[in-house]
Amino acid sequence: MTIKKVSDTKPSSTRVRPPSKDLAELATVSRDIAEREQAGRNELEKRCRHLGKVVEESTATIGGLRGQLKLESNERKRAERDIQTALKYAENIIATVPVSFLILNADLRVTSANRYFYNTFKVTPEETVGQFIYDLGNRQWDIPGLRDLLEHILPEHTTIEGFEITHDFPSIGRCVMLLNARRVYWSHDESPLILLVMEDVTQRKSKLQSIQAALEYAEDIIAAVPMSLLILNADLRVISANRSFYQTFKVKPEETLGQSIYDLGNRQWDIPRLRDLLEHILPEHTTIEGFEITHDFPSIGRRAMLLNARRNREFSQTNLVIMVIDDITELRKAHEALREVDRRRSEFITTVSHELRTPLQSIMGFTKLMVQGKVPDPITQKRFLDTIDKQSERLAGLIGDLLEVSRLESGKFVLKRQRLSLRDAIRSAIYELCSFTKEKAILIVDNIPEGLPDIEADESRIKEVMFNLVGNAIKFSSEGGKIAVNAQATHNEILVQIIDQGIGIPAEALPHLFQKFYQINGSDTRTRGGLGLGLYITKQIVEAHGGQIWVESELNQGSTFSFTLPLTLAPESR
């Protein structure tokens, strides 16, 4: 734009001046005026241009500002909307989350609570908002743990998480609550609010507890089973083992876990039959039961192991092998021992049967011969009757011994103790045996001192002991032999010894001599018959009296049987 300002300069150009000098002067002035006019015009133009520019810039600025203002207003509106949305969002969350939400002010009064809180604790907003937290619902929130949290712990921390309290709420019963609390300042001049989030973890807790209990139960069982348990992965490496495994095989967890089963304990588990089981049999069967392995384990010796194995595919994709190892070595031993008892019993029955049948053969044979009139000679008849008589007594004696053992073992063996002179008892027994000594012209030397103190004992049993011991001495003495019977008293017992000069007892037989049914193998003893019960019964009688019995012997030199009887009753003896 161009503005021409010419009106101010017009009056000066019309002024009258003298001619000549005045003309020249006029001309100069006129030039001057014209120049000034020009300069003024230039200046004006320049200013006008500047002004125009300023106006232009200002207009642009104003336009810009107007746009910006419009933009800011939109943003604010959007932000407000966002805040509203967020608030609603938060409110919705607070309303819908299955946790109780409580906002308290600094005085611990409820400012607000969420729906879940009201539902859970069966209270209404009217009886809640504005209340002191401890007063809520009949003071059911006055819980020491909560007081602790709100009054002591929270003031020192901004946030508390996972604070657990267990409480009997009158309205809902016993609950486990997980509390999260947070102190919040909305602005600097206001006092803080407390956000309290309460989660009822009672069910979760009880589920967790039952899982925990089940786990502990399983672990207890695994630990308690006397069998060794080994869990292997698909590569047959040990994942876990139980206490029994470590105890049985004398290994430590650190040398076991992660190891290949074959490498365990100096490769002591590298057993062909086990390889067979794990690599061939188990892959084709899910379960293997009663697989028995007998193996010399370097650490524990020869053992019989019963293996039960199970592949577990259901439980995990790793295809675990659960192996139960039962050390049945003792069971096997017991089984063997039982078989030995059984063997001995049937041996005993064979022996008894034989020993009973043998005298019965001559009794039956001679009787039948006589009954059938095949023995007409009276002298022969008498001889046969004598044999029948002797064999009957032998039979009765055998049956008596069997009954005695049966009594001894059934606990029906009762001593009839009475005060008696051991000297008289022994002498009476020896006297009764005299008929047998005469047959073989055996001399019995009685060395029993007169002043031998009396004892309390069962007279018939003591006589039985003497019959057995002196009877044996007679049996195993050669004709014309000598048997000494000695007795002496110490301060608390009487020692009786029966010394013969007979055939003696082989050293290997000595330890077994007092065992039931023991018979010395050999031609000389077998012919003398018997069940091998005499010395067993003798030992039982002596021990029932609180005494001891033992033997010393040298082959072909003779034997000495010694027994003691206590002078005073042992309190525990029968």
Task: List contacts with another protein (CB under 8 A).
Answer: 350, 353-355, 357-366, 368-369, 372, 374-375, 380, 384, 387, 390-391, 522-524, 526-527, 529
With respect to another protein, which residue has the nearer C-beta, 114 or 391? 391
Residue environment code for 447-456, b if the CB has 16+ CB neighbours within 10 A, otherwise e:
ebeeebeebb
Question: Shortest distance, CB of residue 248 to another protein, whole angstroms?
Answer: 41
Question: Shortest distance, CB of residue 357 to another protein, whole angstroms?
Answer: 4
With respect to another protein, which residue has the nearer C-beta, 369 or 415? 369
With respect to another protein, which residue has the nearer C-beta, 304 or 360? 360
* Distances in whole angstroms, Cα of residue 445 to Cα of each of 210, 424, 431, 495, 543: 85, 15, 12, 16, 26
User: Please, are residues 498 and 470 in contact by the beta-carbon 8 Å criterion?
Assistant: yes
| Cα distance between residue 316 and residue 236, in whole Å | 15
Of 507, 483, 505, 508, which Cα lies nearest the Cα of 496? 483
Question: Shortest distance, CB of residue 384 to another protein, whole angstroms?
Answer: 8
Phi/psi-derived region of residue 137, left when phi > 0, alpha when psi is between -120 and 50, beta in every other case: left
Question: Shortest distance, CB of residue 352 to another protein, whole angstroms?
Answer: 10
With respect to another protein, which residue has the nearer C-beta, 28 or 350? 350
Question: Shortest distance, CB of residue 365 to another protein, whole angstroms?
Answer: 4
Q: Which residues pair with 487 in a beta bridge?
A: 496
What is Dmax (Cα atoms) for the chain?
229
Question: Shortest distance, CB of residue 460 to another protein, whole angstroms?
Answer: 29
Question: Shortest distance, CB of residue 434 to another protein, whole angstroms?
Answer: 22
CA geometry: angle 174, 177, 181, nearest 5 deg: 150
With respect to another protein, which residue has the nearer C-beta, 362 or 573? 362
Contacts 24+ apart (CB under 8 A), 26-32: none
Question: Shortest distance, CB of residue 432 to another protein, whole angstroms?
Answer: 23
Distance of CA 396 to the CA centre of its chain: 59
530 C-beta neighbours (distance < 10 Å), count: 19
With respect to another protein, which residue has the nearer C-beta, 130 or 522? 522
Rounded to 10°, the helix 378-410/534-544 angle is: 40
With respect to another protein, which residue has the nearer C-beta, 382 or 390? 390
| Cα distance between residue 21 and residue 23, in whole Å | 5
With respect to another protein, which residue has the nearer C-beta, 519 or 548? 519
Provide CB contacts within 8 A for 562, sequence distance 6+: 495, 496, 497, 498, 549, 550, 551, 552
Question: Shortest distance, CB of residue 356 to another protein, whole angstroms?
Answer: 8
User: Please, are residues 181 and 198 in contact by the beta-carbon 8 Å criterion?
Assistant: no
Phi, psi of 375 (to 5 degrees): -125, 80
Write the DSSP assignment of 217-236 as a string of letters: HHHHHHHH-SSEEEEE-TT-
Of 88, 142, 94, 146, which Cα lies nearest the Cα of 118? 94
Question: Shortest distance, CB of residue 474 to another protein, whole angstroms?
Answer: 17
Provide CB contacts within 8 A for 114, sequence distance 6+: 94, 95, 97, 100, 101, 102
Name the amino acid, one letter, at 492.
Answer: N
Question: Shortest distance, CB of residue 394 to another protein, whole angstroms?
Answer: 9
| Cα distance between residue 140 and residue 169, in whole Å | 6
With respect to another protein, which residue has the nearer C-beta, 260 or 387? 387
With respect to another protein, which residue has the nearer C-beta, 141 or 384? 384
With respect to another protein, which residue has the nearer C-beta, 53 or 440? 440
484 C-beta neighbours (distance < 10 Å), count: 17
Structure tokens at 327: 């050390």
Name the amino acid, one letter, at 419.
Answer: R
Residue with tokens 């899982």: 211
With respect to another protein, which residue has the nearer C-beta, 124 or 527? 527
With respect to another protein, which residue has the nearer C-beta, 95 or 555? 555
Residue with tokens 């069982």: 221
Q: Which residues pair with 322 in a beta bridge?
A: 231, 310
Question: To which H or E segment does residue 341 belong?
Answer: helix 329-371
Of 459, 487, 478, which Cα lies nearest the Cα of 561? 487
With respect to another protein, which residue has the nearer C-beta, 506 or 522? 522
User: Please, are residues 461 and 495 in contact by the beta-carbon 8 Å criterion?
Assistant: no
